[in-house]
Amino acid sequence: MIFVTPKQYLRQAYRLNDLINCDLEKLEQLRVLSTSVSSPNLSGMPSSGTRNTEPAFVRAIEKIIELEKIIDAEIARYVDLQIEINQVINQVADNDQKFVLNLRYLKFLKWEAVANEMELSLKQVHRIHNEALKNIKIPCIETI
């Protein structure tokens, strides 16, 4: 079992979202690569028998399919984690604390945006956030 702080627990979705976005960028690069044309052998010399004669786009497509499966699994975990974190946040009694936690850890807003949304000072938002973290009851889970 891994012990985490309330803040670490709540930030899991944010980190997983970053990971998914990173993998989506890789996927886009692979898609571009799969549509590019590889240069033909213009030397006139026959190729060795050990050289892979499979076109490069075929290998790229295989990697695309593999990465899409990984991304699908990450998205499924992300959705489950969002639901789980939302349930944990909803156990907090104070509505201002709930609102801060939702804006920060489910909507991923920066502190300034949270303060603007709540029409409070940054200092007030940080105070509410610190109190909210004390009221979080983390389920026994393993982190990503």
Q: Is residue 94 part of a domain?
A: yes
What does the alpha-carbon distance between residue 34 and residue 57 come to, in Å, rounded to a whole number?
Answer: 4
> Is the four-CA dihedral 77, 80, 84, 89 of positive or negative sign?
positive
pLDDT, one tens digit per residue, over 24-48 is 999 998 888 777 755 555 555 555 5
Q: Is residue 41 part of a domain?
A: no
Using DSSP, state whether 43 is helix, strand or coil: coil
What pLDDT score was predicted for residue 31? 87
Q: Is residue 92 part of a domain?
A: yes
Range in 41-45, 114-118, 122-126 the model is least confident about:
41-45
Q: Is residue 43 part of a domain?
A: no
Q: Is residue 139 part of a domain?
A: no
What pLDDT score was predicted for residue 44? 56
Q: Which two tokens stand for residue 31?
A: 């898609």
Please state the domain count of the chain: 1
What does the alpha-carbon distance between residue 17 and residue 13 come to, in Å, rounded to a whole number?
Answer: 6
Question: Is the pTM here over 0.85, yes or no?
Answer: no
Q: Is residue 144 part of a domain?
A: no
Q: Is residue 140 part of a domain?
A: no
pLDDT, one tens digit per residue, over 52-79 is 566 667 787 888 999 999 999 999 999 9
The residue whose two tokens read 């946040």 is: 89
Which residue range is the domain that position 71 belongs to? 6-36+55-134
